[in-house]
Amino acid sequence: MSETYRRKISVRRLVNPDGDFNVVRKGVSKFDWDDLYHALLTLSWIKLFAVVGTGYIITNIVFALMYLGVGNGVENMREGDFFDAFFFSVQTMATIGYGAMYPKTLSANILVAIEALLGLLGVSVGSGLVFARFSLPKARVMFSRIAVVTSYNGVPTLMFRVANERQSWILEAEVNVSLVTSEITKEGQAMRRFYKLPLFRHQSSLFALTWTVMHPITESSPLHGITLEEMQEKEMEILVTLTGIDQTVSDNIHAHHSYIPTEILWNHKFADILSKTQDGRRSVDYNRFHDAIALEVAEY
């Protein structure tokens, strides 16, 4: 398969390997002032600090111009000097109060009172945003880069691996797997359909190390009799969602992943990563977590 076709298939996927949705939204604003808090929480750290820093600088510039506009209202500030006014605004907003410059007229004192109030509100909001970002629970869950189809108890089975990268447990972990495919209705309308894939085991009370998720491809499975070419033609995608409770923060966490046809290896099995040390303890080799071994003869 050509690299161009691989990239074309990858662009069509709904969920990227990092768990983000790969969907272009049209007709919907990316930034909604009515949902400002959520929009700020979803920004990256760099963008968040850029927004906070830009707002901080713009606010001080506005107040500096206002201090200049009230005339000689600040003691020891050079008349018409923008930088003196700007840094006086910085001192006021941060409630530093060095004492070298201070308001001496009613209009200047009113501006100082307004800016001090806005500064307190700004510090509260900024601290709250940073704390909220730090306290957001995140799952450090690793998915195998490929899925395999091999025989399990005589039944062809779709398998992929999941691992908990933290030392703590994920309590009441649950995995849900769906097949997304393109279908044409009798009226000729193209639709994307979701089919839930039943698993041998979809829950784990204590998820600490690794988990091989398995879907038996029986006659009732949407994948029964499907070839790689048909999966590519119908733009099929395996969507995976893992949810649970982080043991450390006692809060819900979730992780997403997907597998497109080129990431599913038929007639392969995963390399064994479990062993025992010399003193009898169990060992997991994460260096081989993504490795698969081709089978010489199909087992199903």
Residue appearing with tokens 């600088």: 57
Cα–Cα distance measured from residue 1 to residue 143, given in angstroms and rounded to the nearest whole number: 24
Largest CA-CA distance found in the chain, in angstroms, rounded: 91
Predicted local distance difference test score (pLDDT) of residue 87: 93
Closest by Cα among 160, 166, 149 to 253: 166
Predicted local distance difference test score (pLDDT) of residue 285: 87
The dihedral through the CA atoms of 224, 259, 214, 297 has a sign that is positive
Q: Which residues contact 216 (CB under 8 A, 6 or more apart)?
A: 152, 155, 156, 157, 198, 200
Buried b (16+ CB within 10 A) or exposed e, 85-115: bbbbbbbbbeeeeeeebbbeeeebeebbeeb
Cα–Cα distance measured from residue 239 to residue 257, given in angstroms and rounded to the nearest whole number: 6
Within 104-234, where are the H helices?
A: 106-135, 228-233
130-132-133-134 Cα dihedral, nearest 10 degrees: 90
Q: Which helix (H) or strand (E) holds 292?
A: strand 292-294
Residues 88, 77: contact at Cβ < 8 Å? yes
Ordered per-residue pLDDT tens for the chain, 300 residues:
444 434 444 446 777 776 676 777 676 666 666 777 888 888 888 988 898 899 999 999 999 999 998 888 888 898 889 999 999 999 999 888 888 898 989 999 999 999 999 999 988 888 888 888 888 778 888 999 999 999 998 899 999 999 988 888 889 999 999 999 888 877 878 888 899 999 999 998 888 888 999 999 999 999 988 888 888 888 889 999 999 998 887 888 889 999 999 899 999 999 998 888 888 788 888 889 999 999 876 555
In Å, what is the CA distance from 261 to each residue of 200, 229, 256?
22, 9, 17
Tell me if residue 223 falls in helix, strand or coil: coil
Predicted local distance difference test score (pLDDT) of residue 191: 83
Buried b (16+ CB within 10 A) or exposed e, 273-285: beeeeeeeeeeee
Q: Which helix (H) or strand (E) holds 143?
A: strand 141-143
Predicted local distance difference test score (pLDDT) of residue 30: 66
Closest by Cα among 296, 297, 179, 187 to 230: 179
Q: Let me know the angle formed at the C-alpha of 147 by 282 and 255, rounded to the nearest 5 degrees.
A: 75
